């Protein structure tokens, strides 16, 4: 039987958990359709990281979709570099295909540049104004606009043109927040009495909630009456395209097109399979790893915080889905976001009871890439990446971490990694045994994580001073 993995790549955030939420949502929607054997998420600033995500996929046929609204620095530079795709710069329309360590990996354009995004714009427009008409309704497709990347503007113009051709609106306009034609000039351009505005933005945020309504002279409300030289106009302000459920269809179109006439016959990836088989063997006997404890329980498995061992079940909140486990453990007990899952701050007070397939997914959420990397360490196949290599690879605002002195690096690492279960192989530390050998807290760190890199950058910039940032 053919086996296929779909990987959705998001930006993520070290500071707030909401950034990853959109990617979770699309992954869940696509998973529910059952077209792929698995839908995996990976992030720049969360886990599994871009460096790790490929090894967390179970099949040898992997399609990677960047969950970005436009092409740019992340889709052309950061993601291909960090994932080791051996590609830099603009991605061709057919995507980039590589064979990496036994997996066929296809990397596509970001979802936002797919032609079917015009359907999503239309869907948003109809939500805001169900009875729009070619007689009296204008459509504004509103882009960010940036001098750095003309491609992101091109896509707004293209979508506007497609919708103009559709004849469903009296006029269709492409306007931008940060460049000409600016959104504030809309009263000069748009004459129709009813105006639908659809932000071509990835998510709801400062721009969609504040700057756009402000620049347009709206009250931030969904519907605003505006008195212009054109007479009174009614503006219907839609939600951003990037959060519409139809984006799931765009993702699937992209993935199918990337696979194209590909003859790759996906199979179970052997190393991944061996790691999880080894994990399940231990789990059947009861296993402690990291901060958790897994125990067999009448054909199912129970997972809980190891410090809650022996607590009666009724004193703990029972979770029944992998997503439930993910959401409960996304924050520490103080309510702070946990971008690094191996930091010793997993909240207590829960237990999860589930079958084998769900246990695997719950563990993937609890400790992304940990089973794969720890298993590789126990087989002596995990290759550490020294700090100097990680530092040299950095670009943009992170390039300056190359200037960190060994003392600065050690100071930050003592602070950050001191609270982490992982052992820093990248700094020359040794880890002769792992939780596969019965040492629960023994988890390797093969390469400095982006959280540490960001903290080192703060240190070099002199902004770190006393305490966590």
Percent of the chain that is helix, strand, coil (3-state, to 5): 40, 20, 40
Does 342 bind ligand SF4 (CB under 6 A)? Our answer is yes
Q: Toward ligand SF4, which CB reaches closer, 254 or 416?
A: 416
Does 420 bind ligand SF4 (CB under 6 A)? Our answer is yes
Question: What phi and psi, each to the nearest 5 degrees, are found at residue 169?
Answer: -130, 155
Segment contacting ligand SF4 by CB under 6 A, of 21-29, 132-140, 292-300, 418-426? 418-426
Q: Toward ligand SF4, which CB reaches closer, 397 or 414?
A: 414
Does 114 bind ligand SF4 (CB under 6 A)? Our answer is no
Does 448 bind ligand SF4 (CB under 6 A)? Our answer is yes
Segment contacting ligand SF4 by CB under 6 A, of 85-93, 175-183, 258-266, 442-450? 442-450
Parallel, antiparallel, or unpaired for β 317-319 and 38-43?
unpaired
Q: Structure tokens of 6?
A: 């779909």
**What is the distance between the alpha carbons of residues 457 and 437, in angstroms, rounded to a whole number?**
36
Q: Residue from 417, 431, 442, 460 that binds ligand SF4 (CB under 6 A)?
A: 417
Does 404 bind ligand SF4 (CB under 6 A)? Our answer is no
Does 445 bind ligand SF4 (CB under 6 A)? Our answer is yes
Q: Toward ligand SF4, which CB reaches closer, 269 or 373?
A: 373
Does 422 bind ligand SF4 (CB under 6 A)? Our answer is yes
Q: Residue from 67, 250, 449, 454 that binds ligand SF4 (CB under 6 A)?
A: 449
The residues near 415 (Cβ < 8 Å, ≥ 6 apart) are 455, 468
Q: How far is the CB of 282 from ligand SF4 (least distance, A)?
A: 22
Q: How far is the CB of 274 from ligand SF4 (least distance, A)?
A: 23
The residues near 140 (Cβ < 8 Å, ≥ 6 apart) are 172, 173, 174, 175, 183, 186, 190, 195, 196, 197, 198
Q: How far is the CB of 344 from ligand SF4 (least distance, A)?
A: 10
Q: How far is the CB of 259 from ligand SF4 (least distance, A)?
A: 33
Q: Toward ligand SF4, which CB reaches closer, 65 or 448?
A: 448
Segment contacting ligand SF4 by CB under 6 A, of 150-158, 297-305, 387-395, 419-427? 419-427
Does 387 bind ligand SF4 (CB under 6 A)? Our answer is no
**What is the distance between the alpha carbons of residues 443 and 341, in angstroms, rounded to a whole number?**
12
Segment contacting ligand SF4 by CB under 6 A, of 97-105, 242-250, 344-352, 414-422? 414-422
Q: How far is the CB of 427 from ligand SF4 (least distance, A)?
A: 9
433 burial class (0-12, 13-18, 19+ CB within 10 angstroms)?
exposed
Q: Residue from 4, 194, 424, 457 that binds ligand SF4 (CB under 6 A)?
A: 424
112 burial class (0-12, 13-18, 19+ CB within 10 angstroms)?
buried
Does 442 bind ligand SF4 (CB under 6 A)? Our answer is no
Q: Structure tokens of 243?
A: 């959060």
Q: Choose among 287, 269, 268, 273: nearest CA to 375.
A: 273
Q: Quick check: helix, strand or coil at residue 164?
A: helix
Q: Structure tokens of 218?
A: 């709206």
Does 412 bind ligand SF4 (CB under 6 A)? Our answer is no
68 DSSP β-pair partners: none
Q: How far is the CB of 424 from ligand SF4 (least distance, A)?
A: 5
**CA triple 105-109-115, angle to 5 deg:** 135
**What is the distance between the alpha carbons of residues 359 and 451, in angstroms, rounded to a whole number?**
27
Q: How far is the CB of 341 from ligand SF4 (least distance, A)?
A: 9
CB 241 within 8 A of CB 249: no
Q: How far is CA 204 from CA 5, 8, 22, 128, in A?
A: 29, 19, 10, 15
Q: Residue from 452, 454, 456, 460 that binds ligand SF4 (CB under 6 A)?
A: 452
Does 194 bind ligand SF4 (CB under 6 A)? Our answer is no
Q: Toward ligand SF4, which CB reaches closer, 207 or 341?
A: 341
Do you find a cis peptide bond into 64, omega within 30 degrees of 0?
no
Positions in the binding site for ligand SF4 (CB under 6 A): 340, 342, 416-417, 420, 422, 424, 445, 448-449, 451-452
């Amino acid at each position: 039987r053919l086996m296929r993995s779909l990987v959705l790549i998001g930006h993520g955030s070290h500071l707030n958990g909401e950034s990853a939420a959109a990617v979770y949502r699309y992954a869940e929607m696509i998973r529910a359709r059952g077209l792929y054997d698995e839908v995996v998420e990976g992030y720049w600033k969360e886990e599994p990281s871009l460096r790790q995500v490929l090894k967390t996929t179970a099949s040898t046929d992997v399609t990677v979709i960047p969950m970005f609204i436009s092409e740019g620095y992340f889709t052309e530079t950061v993601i291909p570099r960090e994932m080791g795709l051996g590609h830099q710069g603009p991605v061709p329309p057919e995507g980039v295909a590589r064979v990496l360590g036994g997996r066929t990996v296809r990397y596509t354009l970001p979802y936002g540049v797919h032609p079917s995004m015009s359907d999503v714009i239309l869907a948003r427009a109809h939500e805001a104004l169900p009875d729009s008409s070619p007689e009296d309704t204008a459509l504004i497709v509103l882009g960010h606009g940036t001098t750095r990347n003309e491609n992101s503007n091109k896509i707004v113009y293209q979508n506007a043109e497609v919708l103009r051709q559709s004849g469903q609106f009296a006029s269709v306009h492409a306007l931008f927040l940060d460049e000409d034609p600016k959104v504030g000039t809309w009263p000069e351009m748009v004459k129709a009495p009813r105006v639908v505005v659809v932000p071509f933005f990835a998510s709801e945020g400062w721009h969609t909630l504040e700057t756009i309504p402000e620049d347009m002279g709206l009250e931030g409300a969904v519907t605003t009456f505006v008195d212009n030289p054109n007479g009174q106009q009614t503006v219907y302000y839609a939600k951003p395209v990037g959060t519409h459920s139809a984006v799931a269809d765009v993702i699937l179109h992209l993935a199918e097109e990337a696979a194209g006439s590909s003859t790759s016959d996906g199979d179970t990836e052997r190393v991944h399979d061996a790691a999880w088989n080894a994990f399940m063997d231990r789990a059947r006997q009861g296993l402690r790893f990291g901060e958790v404890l897994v125990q067999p329980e009448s054909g199912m498995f129970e997972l809980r915080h190891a410090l809650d061992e022996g607590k009666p079940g009724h004193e703990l909140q029972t979770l029944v889905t992998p997503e439930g486990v993910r959401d409960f453990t996304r924050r520490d007990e103080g309510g702070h976001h946990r971008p690094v899952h191996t930091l010793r701050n997993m909240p207590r007070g829960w237990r999860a009871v589930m079958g084998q397939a769900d246990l695997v997914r719950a563990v993937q959420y609890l400790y992304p890439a940990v089973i794969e990397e720890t298993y590789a360490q126990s087989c002596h196949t995990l290759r550490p990446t020294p700090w100097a290599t990680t530092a040299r690879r950095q670009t943009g605002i992170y390039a300056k971490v190359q200037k960190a002195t060994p003392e600065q690096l050690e100071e930050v690492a003592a602070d950050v990694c001191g609270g982490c279960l992982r052992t820093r192989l990248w700094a020359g530390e040794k880890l002769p045994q792992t939780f596969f050998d019965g040492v629960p807290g023994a988890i390797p760190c093969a390469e400095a994580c982006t959280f540490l890199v960001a903290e080192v950058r703060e240190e070099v910039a002199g902004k770190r001073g006393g305490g966590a940032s």
